[in-house]
Amino acid sequence: MGRATMQDVALRAGVSRALVSLVMRNSPRVSPQRRAAVFAAATELGYRPHAMARQLASRDSTVLGVLVSDLHNQFFADLVDGVDQAAHEQGFSLLLQTGQRRAAREEQVIDTLLSFSPAGLVLLGPVVATRIMAAAARQSPVIAVTRSCRHPDIDTVTDDSEAGARLAVAHLAGLGHRRIAHLDGGNGAQAALRRRGYRAAMAEAGLAPLIVRSEYTETGGVLGARALLSSAPETTAVFCSNDLNAVGAIAELEDHGLQVPADMSVVGYDNTALAALRHVSLTTLHQPRHEMGRLAVELLLDRIRGNRDTVARLQLEPTLVVRKTTAAPRSAATAAARAVDGAATSPKREVSA
Amino acid sequence: MGRATMQDVALRAGVSRALVSLVMRNSPRVSPQRRAAVFAAATELGYRPHAMARQLASRDSTVLGVLVSDLHNQFFADLVDGVDQAAHEQGFSLLLQTGQRRAAREEQVIDTLLSFSPAGLVLLGPVVATRIMAAAARQSPVIAVTRSCRHPDIDTVTDDSEAGARLAVAHLAGLGHRRIAHLDGGNGAQAALRRRGYRAAMAEAGLAPLIVRSEYTETGGVLGARALLSSAPETTAVFCSNDLNAVGAIAELEDHGLQVPADMSVVGYDNTALAALRHVSLTTLHQPRHEMGRLAVELLLDRIRGNRDTVARLQLEPTLVVRKTTAAPRSAATAAARAVDGAATSPKREVSA
DNA sequence: CTACAAGGTTGTCGCGCTCCAATCAATAGA
DNA sequence: TCTATTGATTGGAGCGCGACAACCTTGTAG
């Protein structure tokens, strides 16, 4: 099944190989007759330009290398989808590998991707050291999504997680909650920012923060909620590190006989498809995942095409999506009283799950 | 940032370009000294073999083209993950594009993938005409997952959806249900098989089938459940086309004041992460998605390496995962009585949503 | 009739690499 | 000493294509 080459098409159309090349690249300097003849010959032979040979010869690639941390996470799957859309529109193809949240593997994957001389590299939620990313950036433009890093050669797209956390706290406090806990994202990307935003917002509202160590998983939510109930049962609202975590927390709360939102309000983060399910209907912070993927590609292409040589750090504002897992506490007055009490006796509490 | 080539390494190591090539390909016919010298020069220059040039020259590819129908669907994201794992282990990279469930787009994507002369093509849930796949198969080995097609050049990996449907019905009938409906998957992949299995199992159990037209989405589940409640309120159990559909159905049932499983048992299909959530805890049929992805790659590589020249049609057996959305009907006796009644008055019912 | 331009078309080189025949060195056998 | 034999190394052709200068047309102005 030897595939047809330009030479074959040229022979069949009775022209030179160079002319076929011009036709395939839509050069305007070709007469209509020749063009038609070439196209005819090409379709007859089932000719298809050889992308790799083309890129080798022209020295510019139409491939974007994509490192995605984990496709099991809906959040990243959506990012990839956005990246794919934008890339497809611009005529780029994706060379994709998963990093499994392991730095060593990510390093290897980046190496493999670079061996294809891609036009650029898109890193979705990388955990690898900045040093490695910087090294890659010397071979090919790099953009990191959901990973803020301060290197001058690496563009980034993130959401303003600190602002998101503030929105969550403001929403809950606005409903009358005083005992608002946070199940955090541990060492995960953006987790530190969400913690910081939570702390700041709580302080500004004159409330005592309570951070429970957790992680970006359902199990993390289950364990976090369990720890919370045993150590601070007076809590009336919890801001979870992401949607998955929130769903786990809700399950655990319900197992303990608590009703959401009557007994406990819950806020997630990401607004994944999960949160939108009517059966879940989670109040959460929306990150425009699809849009983030698109923007990453656009920024990368700007860099590739030389339209920009300064670093880009795009930070998107999350928005609050109110659904059915948040409500005023059973008695706002009671909750307020307990909060004052709690703040007086323990201005700062930390629990580990 | 001109990247180093073999020539550069050769010069630096004081050997010929051909020797560098041998070293890079781990040829045993190289003396240890030269090998060391080449490696040293390579690392000093930050040399990395150019994958595309290599594939052009060697005429064999280390790239697998992947067409995935839709990454928003967790099911396919998991498949891709399995494919990625297996490919990575075998030293292959994935060139991935999404088809958006649109035949025209899929056709275009296949064309793009083929232009890279991939070692093989993995089609995950394609909706494109078999004719197009067959044409692709003449350029490169093709395997389709979750899409049975009878073409002699196209390998397939599917689950035995007919058997899965039978398991679902058997489970529900075993619990004492008599009025068991099916929200189907419309024109989706495997939907016809699930319908057939449902019909057969119902007939064997002496029960009257009730198929509600639906689709593989949450909204489909919502609408399907609504149609079901208005047209056949005596139903006590429903077998949904997939998990997403089931979750939509559950939400709608709850909105109507019905409790799951007390008033209505629900079975899904796929056993996605969604079903495993404690808050959902859906009884469903497990498809080993990750494993299916792996197997697809393995079968494809067999073909690529010439270890097999006959068509492979792997059909995996789904297994029932019982969770908390199924139980015996409130009164098995009553349900049975109603079933007999219903079967007598309307041996075959169909409803459209 | 020549000069010139502009539109078309072609030959050739090289992208970075693999592959293979050819070469060379060193040792073993006659 | 003169081949074989083996092992290590090299030059060169070619993978399919793009870039570019050179080359042919025609047509038009001088």
Q: Which residue of B has its CA nearest to A290?
A: B72
Residue A22: CB less than 7 A from any atom in strand C: yes
Of A339-348, B52-61, B163-172, the one with minimum mean pLDDT is A339-348
- pTM, rounded to two decimals: 0.88
What confidence score (pLDDT) does residue B207 get? 97
Mean pLDDT rounded to a whole number for chain B:
91
**Range B191-203 average pLDDT:** 96
- 8 Å CB contact between A352 and A227: yes
With 0-12 / 13-18 / 19 or more C-beta atoms within 10 angstroms meaning exposed / middle / buried, residue B153 is middle
Task: Please name the fold of domain B161-287+320-352.
Answer: Rossmann fold (3.40.50)
Residue B187, pLDDT > 90, answer no
Distance A23 CA to C1 C1' (A): 37
Record: contact B52-A49, CB cut-off 8 A: no
Amino acid symbol at B348: K
pLDDT band at A348 (very low <50, low <70, confident <90, very high): very low
CA distances from B51 to A56, A122, B60, B87, B305 (A): 10, 19, 11, 16, 20
What does the alpha-carbon distance between residue B81 and residue A100 come to, in Å, rounded to a whole number? 10
Residue B352, pLDDT > 70, answer no
pLDDT band at B346 (very low <50, low <70, confident <90, very high): very low
What confidence score (pLDDT) does residue B353 get? 37
**Range B199-227 average pLDDT:** 96
What does the alpha-carbon distance between residue B151 and residue A96 come to, in Å, rounded to a whole number? 29
Positive/negative CA dihedral, B6, B11, B14, B18: positive
Q: How do residues A192-233 score in pLDDT, each as one tens digit?
A: 999 999 999 999 999 999 999 999 989 999 999 999 999 999
pLDDT band at B332 (very low <50, low <70, confident <90, very high): low
**Range A99-124 average pLDDT:** 96
**Range A6-21 average pLDDT:** 94
Closest Cα of chain A to B74: distance in Å? 7
Cα angle vertex B203, ends B200, B208, to 5°? 120
Distance A57 CA to C14 C1' (A): 8
Residue to substitute from B139, B226, B277, B297, interface A, most A β-carbons within 10 A: B277
What confidence score (pLDDT) does residue B271 get? 95
| Residues of B whose CB is below 8 A from A56 | 50, 52-53, 56
Pairing mode, if any, of strands B93-98 and A93-98?
A: antiparallel
Q: Under CATH, domain A63-159+288-315 is a member of which superfamily?
A: Response regulator (3.40.50.2300)
Residue B331: partners with Cβ closer than 8 Å, 6 or more residues away: none
Of A42-51, A324-333, B49-58, B291-300, the one with minimum mean pLDDT is A324-333
What does the alpha-carbon distance between residue A105 and residue A99 come to, in Å, rounded to a whole number? 6
Q: In 10 A of CB A281, how many CB atoms?
A: 14
On the question of a common fold for A63-159+288-315 and A161-287+320-352, the answer reads yes
For chain D, which bases have at least one atom within 7 A of a protein Cβ? 7-12, 14-21
CA atoms in the 13 A half-sphere facing the CB of B138: 11
Residue A25, pLDDT > 90, answer yes
CATH of B6-49, one of 1.10.1060.10, 1.10.260.40, 3.40.250.10, 1.20.1540.10: 1.10.260.40
Greatest extent of chain A over all pairs of C-alpha atoms, in Å: 92
Give the pair of three-digit tokens for residue B223.
């609408």
Identify the residues numbered 73 to 112 in chain B whose C-beta atom is closer than 7 Å to any atom of strand C: none
What confidence score (pLDDT) does residue B345 get? 37
Residue A21, pLDDT > 50, answer yes
- 8 Å CB contact between B268 and B284: yes
Most confident of A27-41, B194-208, B327-341: B194-208
Backbone angles phi, psi at A104, to 5 degrees: -60, -45
User: Which sequence spans correspond to the domains of chain B?
Assistant: 6-49, 63-159+288-315, 161-287+320-352
Residue A352, pLDDT > 80, answer no
Distance A18 CA to C10 C1' (A): 7
What does the alpha-carbon distance between residue A148 and residue A159 come to, in Å, rounded to a whole number? 9
